[in-house]
Chains A and B, each alone.
Chain A
Amino acid sequence: MNPDHELAENFRGGDEHALRMAYDRYGGAVLHLALRTLGNRADAEDVTQATFVAAWQGRETFDPDRGGMLGWLLGIARRKAVDRLRSAAREARVAETIRALPEPAATVETPERVLDRLVVADELARLPAEQRRTLELAFYDDLTHPQISAVTGLPLGTVKSHIRRGMANLRQRWEVDGAASGSRPAGRSRTL
């Protein structure tokens, strides 16, 4: 369920190395979320920095039973990015320069969608190699079960079971760590 027990425990316990390790492991994802949400590199780097500082200062509030560390960090980053968008909009209204702002829809996405994508990508990378490979062929190459079987040399039944289990794993992680995890009731799908 939570692949980061050890790092999370050390982080919560105030181990300074754990902060650097969390940054090395998840800094790229946090920056990506901020960049896609804000569309501005300087602001995105500020949000990344503020996210890790806030996470460290609030490390005792991290509850590993409620989800993984990546989801928690991305949740903090999302709130900080949204706050920044709101304050930018306020400033813009004050300055009456709203029309001068670039149209946001073209370059930015909802932070929730980016967050979901990062969490699912992280889980995909953790799947056993064959499960991961079969799902990549289905997702990225649009191959069907029989085509994946032909490409990988795996029996059709094995391909089906890898894909079924892989999808179940991605779904479970998404339900625990995804953007809607707080609002979605714990359904039966949580128990695989």
Chain B
Amino acid sequence: MSAISFQQVGKTYGKTSKAFTALRDVSFDIEEGEFFGLLGPNGAGKTSLINILAGLSRATTGSVRVQGHDVVADFATTRRLLGIVPQELVFDPFFSVRESLRIQSSYFGLKRNDDWTDELLTHLGLADKAEANMRQLSGGMKRRVLVAQALVHRPPVIVLDEPTAGVDVELRQTLWHFISRLNKEGHTVLLTTHYLEEAEALCQRIGMLKQGRLVALERTSTLLAGAVSTMLQFKTDDALPAELASLSRVTGRVVQVPASDALHIEQVLGQLRQAGCRLEDLEITRPDLEDVFLHIMQGANA
């Protein structure tokens, strides 16, 4: 049985004239114990899909199941199975960190949950903030509490909706260490993120959404292996020749140009020499998930 199963999920907001379709016929399964990455540009429908899974919104068409239970008909069961870390940084200003966790535990019928919540606090680096009021915490600390709140009932399926957006390096490390451990212990993880290097490092399988459609669904290794070419990477302060500029990915001084073989590489270098570009730190690299992502997103335009 799949941990999560999306079947022909469609979502349209609003009525006829101003209707906006966020999801079209999305179908895929996430297996038990998988670490799955859901990627896509802003507005691709990632959060819409997660909201339907969480019961925060309802699908216009299709259905979603968690361990075989329908998220609408059997919501009480699926919400016990799911631990969802929402994207928005929200908190209840009336309570301390520990009170927030106790209250959240109590909604799931857990009266004596202090051993587990203490463990959560320790692993998320919150132990010394347990008695602090939520209002006194920094953004990063509030984010940690959100993760802890989602996990109070030890859900077998963990969903993280862009948990590292605007978060410092230390928290990202702490968080991934802890979530990876839970995944090794058998928890299924569904992650959406904008940081493709995170997805590449963590996720065994990846789905990509674009304009509400699923445009890729592969093992991460297969996606990377199937990528078209090697990359020529270098740093420069000079303007690129026009014919290369359109193909390249430029991040600050770093330029990456797809180059399929030795002949192609020579060609590119020739063009650069002619244009008078001075290159530093020249290297030939394997494509990463970002290249694959951009390639798929451009291809899916057609």
Chain A partners chain B: no
